[in-house]
């Protein structure tokens, strides 16, 4: 019995990486994916900020799910999520001001990231605290990983550097750090992941 | 535990309780992050000022026509320089905000681009291009004669393929200098508030093509 | 004149979908037919203008005087959610024909980050106001309208292309979303031509 739950938790954790990856397979949360992945660091920090909100809101929602009447479910979830978004917003302002400035508008916009509300509705409102926490962590890290890889690819091609380290002193293919590059990058990323998921 | 009924009272009460708890909790977080946030802001301002001004001990902030002006003093309360946070809307992608530092003689001591939306890889180079050792070095320049790019008859080397961004940069410097003179610490002989527009337009078009390359994107 | 510039800047130069990456979900989701694209666009135009006015009032007369700007995210998302519900109910009562046209898109709008994004930009006064006072109401409304028009424009162009795309032979892995993203990338490239216009 116990072994089974561990297995389950492990499954809940890993499904977010490839099989049910929120961006690459379920196509949720595309806006920050396109908007913040100009470099690997930016993508990673956006992903981690989302993970924080995802885990916290999943935990709280699975705790209070029985106290909330069905009809005001969604507004209540939104309040919980928005509160955690504000918390991470304030914390980043205080302790990571540089990253906060580059991510800008996309931090408060975690509220409307479909992944967060989607997991609250689809998972946390039906499962226990521990499972919800694991689910949030898995989904969040899967999201962060996808964002980091996309960011890294765009950074390598666009500015010939990786994690801020410039390996060739020259201009890259600029279009990759600009808006169109985001669309192209994500398109091919999704196509590649589809190939492997088959 | 049974699920609560969706009666009106229940719904209103739940929402009310949740929002109240959220508001109180956020109030707490806000209270505790207030201090670090203002410290960080202070620190970043100080860092930015150290970059553009000679060594100083403390600074005084004031505002002239909505433009922030920071006067820096040494330990003996002697003025060592003035930094001005100027903005122009003439950038290629939008506003360009620059912190420009002037020494006591009104020469540019340093600058730092605080905000810009110029194209990455072209106009965005302005952060390094005009620094000391950069190709369009403006450090040490006396702005009593307006800063202008070569195409417009000035002596500032524009960023390759980004003339508009470079013009915006010159404009922001000129604005900073105008505020600098307005802040009262100018060398008395050059107080004329230059009318900025007229000269620019005429010279703009007809200057022999420079070797900057024809591909002028910005 | 400045108002016209705000519209051009918000609609073309800083197009919300193709340059700012907001509102991507409905952009990819509902834009396979021109007709639905127009419907979604008008619903966004309607709600965005209304939401901007209400959130502006809340920001100026409640959040700022009380010094509780940190409640912005929570307050705005609740306002938008409530507003969308209200518009839905009122529209059903007053104009059933309009409700038929816009109704199905309204629930989708709550989680459209373009709405919240514009509300936050206006609330903080950090949008491109072309020299006008960014904290007053009229430029804010004009900015909201321009942004929504830009959203509609991108949506309609995109839908028009996708209608044709459906008939083309596309490699298996690129079918659907990846192909759509490539099209969006090319559109973004085209829209980059507008930069420097104002």
Question: Mind listing the pLDDT tens digit for each residue in C123-140?
Answer: 888 787 777 777 889 999
Going by C-alpha positions, the residue among A157, A154, A189, A153 that lies closest to residue A170 is A157
> Between residues C166 and C8, which one has the greater pLDDT?
C8
Shortest CA distance from C128: residue in chain B: B94
pLDDT above 80 for C196: no
Under DSSP, the state recorded for A32 is H
Report CB contact under 8 Å: C74, B30: no
Q: Which chains touch A (3 or more CB pairs under 8 A)?
A: B, C
pTM for the model stands at 0.82
User: By the CB < 8 Å criterion, does A111 face chain C?
Assistant: yes
- B108 DSSP β-pair partners: B102
Amino acid B216: pLDDT: 52
State the smallest CA–CA distance between residue C111 and chain A in angstroms: 5
Residues of A in contact with B11 (CB under 8 A): 69, 71-72
> Between residues A61 and B132, which one has the greater pLDDT?
A61
Domain presence at residue A17: no
Name the band, by pLDDT with cuts 50, 70 and 90, for residue B206.
very low
Report CB contact under 8 Å: B37, A90: yes
Report CB contact under 8 Å: A66, B1: yes
The total number of structural domains that make up chain C: 1
Report CB contact under 8 Å: B26, C71: yes
Name the band, by pLDDT with cuts 50, 70 and 90, for residue A60.
very high
State the smallest CA–CA distance between residue A167 and chain C in angstroms: 27
CA distance A29 to B104: 52
Consecutive H or E run containing C157: helix C137-165
Residues of C in contact with A30 (CB under 8 A): 24-25, 28
Interface of A with C in 15-34 (CB under 8 A): 27-28, 30-32, 34
When the pLDDT of each residue in chain A is averaged and rounded to a whole number, the result is 87
ipTM of the complex: 0.85
Report CB contact under 8 Å: B23, C128: no
Which structure tokens are listed for C110? 């709550």
Please compute the mean of the pLDDT values over residues B178-186 and round it to a whole number.
73
Domain presence at residue C128: yes
State the smallest CA–CA distance between residue A11 and chain C in angstroms: 26
Which of C71, C131, C196 faces B23 most closely, judged by CB atoms? C71
Report CB contact under 8 Å: A105, C117: yes
State the smallest CA–CA distance between residue C58 and chain A in angstroms: 17
Domain presence at residue A10: no
Q: Which structural domain, as residue segments, surrounds residue C161?
A: 2-192
Report chain B residues touching chain C, CB-CB < 8 A.
19, 22-23, 26-27, 30, 89, 92-95, 119, 164, 218
pLDDT tens-digit readout, C36-72: 888 888 888 988 999 999 999 999 999 989 888 888 9
Comparing A144-153, B10-19, C45-54, the range with the smallest average pLDDT is B10-19
Amino acid A56: pLDDT: 94
Interface test with A, best of B8, B9, B11, B18 (most A CBs within 10 A): B18
Report CB contact under 8 Å: A78, C81: yes
pLDDT above 60 for B2: no
Residues of B in contact with C70 (CB under 8 A): 26, 30
B17-22 long-range contacts (CB < 8 A, ≥24 apart) are B18/A64, B18/A68, B18/A76, B18/A79, B18/A80, B19/A79, B19/C74, B19/C78, B22/A79, B22/A80, B22/A82, B22/A83, B22/C74
Which structure tokens are listed for B26? 């956020």
Interface test with A, best of C30, C109, C113 (most A CBs within 10 A): C113
Shortest CA distance from C69: residue in chain B: B30
Amino acid B51: pLDDT: 82
Domain presence at residue A82: yes
Report CB contact under 8 Å: B33, A171: no
3-state secondary structure B38-100: HHHHHHHHHHHHHHHCCCCCEEEEEEECCEEEEEEECCCCCEEEEEEEEEECCCCCCCEEEEE
State the smallest CA–CA distance between residue C101 and chain A in angstroms: 24
Going by C-alpha positions, the residue among A10, A38, A52, A37 that lies closest to residue A159 is A38
Domain presence at residue C46: yes
Report chain A residues touching chain B, CB-CB < 8 A.
38, 64, 66-72, 75-76, 79-80, 82-83, 86-87, 90-91, 93-95, 97, 158-159, 171-172, 174, 177-178
Residues of A in contact with B6 (CB under 8 A): 69-72
Please compute the mean of the pLDDT values over residues B158-172 and round it to a whole number.
86
Going by C-alpha positions, the residue among A136, A119, A122 that lies closest to residue A9 is A136
> Between residues C145 and A171, which one has the greater pLDDT?
C145
- Is residue B100 within 8 A of residue B83, CB to CB? The reply is yes
The total number of structural domains that make up chain A: 1
pLDDT tens-digit readout, C65-83: 988 888 899 999 989 988 8
């Amino acid at each position: 019995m116990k072994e089974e739950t561990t297995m389950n938790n492990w499954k809940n954790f890993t499904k977010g990486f490839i099989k049910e990856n929120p961006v690459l397979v379920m196509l949720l949360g595309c806006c920050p994916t396109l908007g913040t992945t100009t470099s690997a660091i930016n993508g990673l920090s956006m992903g981690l900020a989302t993970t924080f909100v995802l885990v916290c809101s999943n935990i709280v929602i699975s705790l209070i799910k029985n106290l909330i009447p069905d009809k005001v479910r969604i507004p209540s979830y939104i309040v919980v999520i928005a509160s955690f978004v504000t918390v991470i917003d304030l914390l980043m302002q205080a302790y990571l001001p540089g990253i906060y400035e580059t991510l800008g508008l996309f931090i408060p916009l975690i509220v409307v990231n479909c992944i967060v509300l989607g997991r609250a509705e689809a998972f946390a409102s039906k499962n226990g605290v521990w499972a919800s926490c694991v689910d949030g962590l898995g989904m969040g890290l899967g999201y962060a990983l996808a964002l980091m890889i996309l960011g890294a690819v765009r950074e390598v091609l666009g500015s010939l550097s990786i994690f801020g380290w410039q390996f060739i002193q020259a201009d890259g293919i600029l279009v990759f750090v600009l808006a169109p590059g985001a669309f192209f990058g994500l398109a091919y990323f999704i196509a590649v992941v589809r190939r492997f998921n088959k | 535990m049974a699920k609560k009924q969706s009666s009106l009272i229940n719904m209103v009460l739940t929402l009310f309780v949740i929002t109240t708890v959220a508001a109180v909790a956020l109030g707490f977080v806000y209270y505790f992050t207030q201090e670090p946030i203002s410290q960080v802001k202070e620190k970043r301002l100080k860092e930015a000022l150290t970059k553009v001004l000679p060594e100083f001990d403390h600074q005084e902030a004031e505002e002239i026509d909505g433009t922030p002006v920071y006067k820096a003093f040494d330990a003996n309360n002697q003025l060592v320089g003035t930094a001005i946070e100027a903005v122009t809307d003439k950038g290629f992608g939008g506003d360009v905000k620059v912190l420009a530092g002037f020494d006591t003689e009104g020469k540019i001591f340093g600058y730092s681009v605080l905000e810009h939306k110029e194209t990455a890889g072209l106009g965005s180079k302005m952060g390094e291009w005009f620094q000391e050792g950069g190709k369009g070095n403006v450090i040490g320049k006396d702005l009593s004669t307006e800063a202008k790019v070569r195409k417009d008859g000035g002596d500032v080397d524009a960023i390759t393929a980004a003339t508009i961004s470079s013009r915006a940069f010159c404009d922001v410097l000129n604005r900073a200098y105008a505020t600098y003179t307005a802040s009262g610490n100018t060398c008395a002989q050059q107080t004329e508030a230059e009318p900025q527009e007229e000269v620019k337009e005429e010279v703009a078009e007809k200057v022999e093509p420079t070797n900057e390359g024809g591909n002028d994107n910005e | 004149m400045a108002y016209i510039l705000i519209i051009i800047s918000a609609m073309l130069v800083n197009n919300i979908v193709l340059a700012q990456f907001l509102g991507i979900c409905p952009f990819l989701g509902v834009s396979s037919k021109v007709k639905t694209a127009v419907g979604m666009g008008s619903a966004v135009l309607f709600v965005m203008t209304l939401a901007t006015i209400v959130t502006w009032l809340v920001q100026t007369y409640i959040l700022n005087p009380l010094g509780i700007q940190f409640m912005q995210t929570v307050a705005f998302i609740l306002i938008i959610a409530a507003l969308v519900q209200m518009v839905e109910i009122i529209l059903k009562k007053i104009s059933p024909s309009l409700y038929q046209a816009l109704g199905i898109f309204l629930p989708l709008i709550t989680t459209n980050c373009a709405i919240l994004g514009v509300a936050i930009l206006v609330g903080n006064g950090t949008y491109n106001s072309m020299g006008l006072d960014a904290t007053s109401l009229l430029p804010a409304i004009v900015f909201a309208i321009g942004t929504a028009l830009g959203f509609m424009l991108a949506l309609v162009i995109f839908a028009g292309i996708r209608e044709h795309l459906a008939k083309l032979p596309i490699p298996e892995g690129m079918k659907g979303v990846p192909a759509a993203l490539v099209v969006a990338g090319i559109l973004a490239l085209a829209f980059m031509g507008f930069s420097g216009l104002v």
